[in-house]
Amino acid sequence: MGIQTKITGTGHYVPPRVVTNFDLEKLMDTSDEWIRQRSGIQSRHHVEPGTGASDLAYEASLKAINAAGIDKGEIDFIIAATLSPDHYFPGIGVIVQAKLGINPTGALDVRNQCSGFIYALSVADQYIRSGMYKKILLVAAEVQSSNLEFSDDGRDMAVLFGDGGGAVILEPAEGQGQGILSTHLFSDGNFVQELWMDAPSPMDKPTFTHAIIDSKRYLPKMNGRNVFVNAVQRMPEAVWAGLEHNGLSIDDVDHLIPHQANDRISLMVAKKLGIPVEKVIRNIDRFGNTTAASIPIALDETLRAGRIKEGDLVVLTAFGSGFTWASAIIRW
Ligand code: UT7
């Protein structure tokens, strides 16, 4: 067995402002009861104007660097995953690099939405395995709240999403059989329009017009029911693919960390997989759906709570816009 990749430090950061379901009741025709019953969400965090995904990424990165016990100058590659970058271009990888004050190094941006963290983890894993890089910072962060419509028209999306960032440091594992065992990535682009943000698009000439703003094509749109149905199908499939690849069964799994899209989705995924619900990490009640950041936030919370022990089998799975879905099988 060659080099394997280990997560040696984790961190997360959410902006201080907590927005409860009751706060949202004041802005749109919704209720705490509806939001809790349909999604399990009770509150989420929102940034103040002027804060970007790179700011949340920076804070989460500092914590992960600290937890790994490395000097930030040792980082030899950065991967950043977000669907809500500070700017149309460049991506946030270079901005995080500059904010951290790290010397020029490669900075890659990954755009796979809710599956972004696992896609990025897969990329990082290949670099570590090949020996190309030794200390990778992988950070995922989202600012969703700036592009949601807090009114009756936007209520289906506005109640679900939150802002936050999560980061991990990846290094070669010292022990054999420890670290990321495998990652499994999937996509089906026939479902692009089921969960997407249509504009701004260079296909519109010019890209920015009042008509585009008036049509609200710049707001994220989701066919909630179809996304739900596919999520509860695809995440178990990705987990089964990962377990089978490693000759493992669901009984071997100590912690399942699903992307936090909806607590009902997480519970249905658990039921389908036949894994006891106590092994499923669920924190959507306090964060909402933070897209690419949801898995590293949940991982960091679980680790810091002391729930993950050396030798535990940790399984990550995600599903989202694209559609894309993925899993990662990790021996801690
Ligand atoms: O990160 C990956 C991407 N996201 C997901 O995986 C989310 C997947 N989808 C879902 O989680 C669920 O489909 C939702 C939570 C989005 C919606 O739950 P649902 O049980 O599928 O509700 P629904 O869309 O069928 O809507 C039920 C009703 C509708 O009213 P009518 O047409 O039945 O009269 C909606 O207009 O609830 C209404 N509704 C709301 N009511 C109060 C929609 N949003 C709200 C709201 N407050 N915020």
Please indicate whether residue 41, judged by its CB atom, sits closer than 6 Å to ligand 1.
no
Rounded to 5 degrees, what are φ and ψ at 114?
-65, -25
Q: In whole angstroms, what is the distance from residue 216 CA to residue 225 CA? A: 21
Q: Which CATH code fits 5-172?
A: 3.40.47.10
Domain ranges for the chain: 5-172, 179-331
Confirm whether 112 is a catalytic residue.
no
**115-152 core/surface letters (b: 16 or more CB in 10 A; e: else):** bbbbbbbbbbbebbeeeebebbbbbbbbbbbeebbbee
> For domain 179-331, which architecture applies?
3-Layer(aba) Sandwich (3.40)
Confirm whether 289 is a catalytic residue.
yes
H or E segment and range at residue 234: helix 224-245
Q: In whole angstroms, what is the distance from residue 99 CA to residue 85 CA? A: 15
Q: Using most ligand atoms within 8 A of CB, pick from 22, 156, 290, 295 the residue to mutate for ligand 1.
A: 156
**Do the domains at 5-172 and 179-331 have one common CATH topology?**
yes
Catalytic residue among 21, 112, 230, 289: 289
**Beta carbons of 90 and 293 less than 8 angstroms apart:** no
Please indicate whether residue 261, judged by its CB atom, sits closer than 6 Å to ligand 1.
yes
Please indicate whether residue 39, judged by its CB atom, sits closer than 6 Å to ligand 1.
yes
The tens place of each residue's pLDDT in the chain, 332 residues long, gives 689 999 999 999 999 999 999 999 999 999 999 999 999 999 999 999 999 999 999 999 999 999 999 999 999 999 999 999 999 999 999 999 999 999 889 999 999 999 999 999 999 999 999 999 999 999 999 999 999 999 999 999 999 999 999 999 999 998 778 999 999 999 999 999 999 999 999 999 999 999 999 999 999 999 999 999 999 999 999 999 999 999 999 999 999 999 999 999 999 999 999 999 999 999 999 999 999 999 999 999 999 999 999 999 999 999 999 999 999 999 99
Confirm whether 259 is a catalytic residue.
yes
What residue owns the CA closest to ligand 1's atom 8? 228
Model-level pTM? 0.97
What pLDDT sits at residue 1? 66
